[in-house]
Chain A
C-alpha cells in the first residue's frame, strides 16, 4: 500500500494532566488506501477521536509518524498544517458545528473563502456540494431553521466543497434520529462509492460501521483484532 492516503506508524499520544502523564494512544500502525472507508470503533476513552485528530493535523503525536496524502505532518508548521487541512481534509463533527450566524450556503462557502476562487466559482462549488447532499432548497436557511439531519448534511457539504483527499467523521450519526442517521450514512456511502472519497469514521454505531469497507477496533489506546 505504497500509495496510502493515511499512513500511521508507531504513533503514541500522551496527554499531560497537571503532573500526571495520561497515555491515550500506544504504538498505533494504520494505513488507509485511496477510496477506502474505515470505521474506527471502541469504547469511550479508547483514543478514537484522538487518532482522528492526529490524522486531521489538529493535534500532534508524542511519538511516531503520521502521513496524510503523502505528506508527513510532523515537520509542518502551524500555518502549513492549516493550509494542508484546507486542501486535503474534510472534517465532519458529531454536533455538526455549523456557524449559527451564517446560512447553509455561507457555511458551505467558508472553506472556499481561503482559496483564490472568484465569487461566481465559489457559488458554483457550493451549489454543487449542496446538490450532492440534497439541500439546494435550503441555501438561505440558518442552522436553527434546519433539522439535525439537514444540519449534518450541510456540514458534509462543507466538508466536501473543497474536494478534499480524505473525509474524517467523528461520530457523524451520534446525535441524529434513526431516519436522519440513515440519510447521512447513505450519503457517506455514496461519497465513498460514487465519488471515491477515502473516509475514516469514528463511530459507536454498528450500522455505521457496516457501511465501511473495513472496521478497526481501539481499546485502551491500542488497535486490537476485531
Chain B
C-alpha cells in the first residue's frame, strides 16, 4: 500500500490517454457483461430443467404440429405408467395482453395435475381449489402479476396469432417459484377451457409427464416413440432439459458466436491496456532507472508496472459493473422485456468480469513490466525520452 500513491499518480500521468483507455475498457466490459447476462438468461431454463425428471412428448416434425388426443389413452396405459406418471396436456397459446408488446408465456394445461407435476411452483391450496371451480380461471406468476399490475379476481383477455379465439380469463390466484423467479413470468389457464373455445377440436401441443426416476427416461422414450413410430403422428420424447435446449438451438449456434465475441472483447481490452501501459513505461525509462538506482529491485519495478496495468483494468471493470448492477439488478431494467423479463447480472457473471479484468490487466502489463525491470540501469539513465 506504500506504493499505491506512486502507482495511481503514474496511471494518471497522462489523463487523456488513461481516460480513453479506461473508457474504452469500461465500454467493452459493459458489452461483455451484457452478452454474458443475455446468454445466462437464455440458458437459465436449461439449467433449471436439468434438476427434474420431467419429459415432454412432442411431434417429431416440431412443436408447430399438434399431437392426437388418442395418444393420451396410450400414455395413461399400464406400459407407460410403469415408468411415468402425472400426465399433462399443454398447449403454448403464445398470446399477449392488450398490446403485442405485452407478450409473455401463457399456456393452456390440464389443471388437476399441474401443481404436482410442476412442484417447484408454489400454488396455495385455496388457489388450486378455485382453479378447479372456475373453468376460465388462470393462475399467474407473482412477478408477472406485479409487472402488469394484475390483481386476483381481475378479468383479462388474451390475443394470439396461433389460436382463433380470445380467452376471457379470471385470475384465480398467484403462484411463486422461490427456486427461480424467472418462472414467475408465466400464466396458466385450463386446457379444457381452450378446447371449449376451439369448438372441442382436442388440439394437444405437447404431453408432459414425470418419469418415476431418471433411469426410467430412456425406457419411456423407447416405449412412446416406438409406439408412434409408424403412425401419421410420430413423436419425439425428450427430457425437459432437451426441450429447453431446442429453443437455444433455434437461434443457431448462438453460443459459439457469443463466446467468440466475448473472447474478442477480452482480447481488445487487453491490447488497449497493454498499449497504454507500454507507452507509459516507455516514457518512464529514465525514471525507472532512477528508482533502481535508489534501491528498487527488479521485482519491485515489475510489481509497480503490473499494478498500474491492473489498476487501469480494474477501474475499467468497476465502472460498468457498478452501472450494470444499478440498471439491471437494482432498478430491474431489461433491454427487452419480452425476451428477457429478468435481466440479472448473476454472481457468476460478476466473477467472470472480475476475473477477466484481473487477467486482462496482468496480461497487458506483463511484457512492458518485464522489459522495464530487465533494462540495465545505465542504459535507462542514458536514455533520452
Contact = CB atoms under 8 A, between A and B. Distances in A.
A and B form one complex = yes
Interface of A: 53, 56, 58-59, 78-79, 82-87, 89, 91, 93, 97, 99-102, 106, 110-111, 113-114, 158
Given A101-B10, A102-B6, A85 B290 contact: no
Contacts of B376: 59
A78 B298 contact: yes
30 contacts: A53-B377, A53-B378, A58-B292, A58-B293, A59-B377, A59-B378, A78-B297, A78-B298, A82-B292, A82-B295, A82-B298, A83-B297, A84-B295, A86-B294, A86-B295, A87-B295, A93-B290, A93-B381, A97-B286, A97-B290, A99-B290, A99-B291, A101-B6, A101-B12, A101-B13, A106-B5, A106-B6, A111-B294, A113-B2, A114-B295
A59, A91, A101, most chain B CB atoms within 10 A: A101
Contact of B294 (A53, A79, A91, A101): A91
Nearest to B3: A113
Given A82-B296, A106-B5, A113-B3, A97 B287 contact: yes
Contacts of A101: 6, 9-10, 12-13
Q: 3 shortest A-B CB distances, which residue pairs?
A: A86-B295, A101-B9, A58-B377
Interface in B227-272: none
Interface of B: 2-3, 5-6, 9-10, 12-13, 286-287, 290-300, 376-378, 381
Contacts, number: 66
A114 B378 contact: no
Contacts of B381: 58, 93
Contacts of B290: 93, 97, 99
A16 to B, nearest CB: 12
Contact of A110 (B10, B294, B377, B378): B294
Contacts of B378: 53, 58-59
A31 to B, nearest CB: 23
Contacts of A53: 377-378
A158 B300 CA distance: 19
Contacts of A110: 6, 291, 294
A88 to B, nearest CB: 9
A83 B295 contact: yes
B381 to A, nearest CB: 8
A83 B291 CA distance: 12
Given A83-B297, A101-B6, 9 more contacts: A56-B293, A59-B376, A59-B377, A82-B297, A85-B293, A99-B6, A101-B9, A101-B12, A106-B5
B340 to A, nearest CB: 45
Contacts of B5: 102, 106
A140 to B, nearest CB: 14
A78 B376 CA distance: 11
A116 B242 CA distance: 62
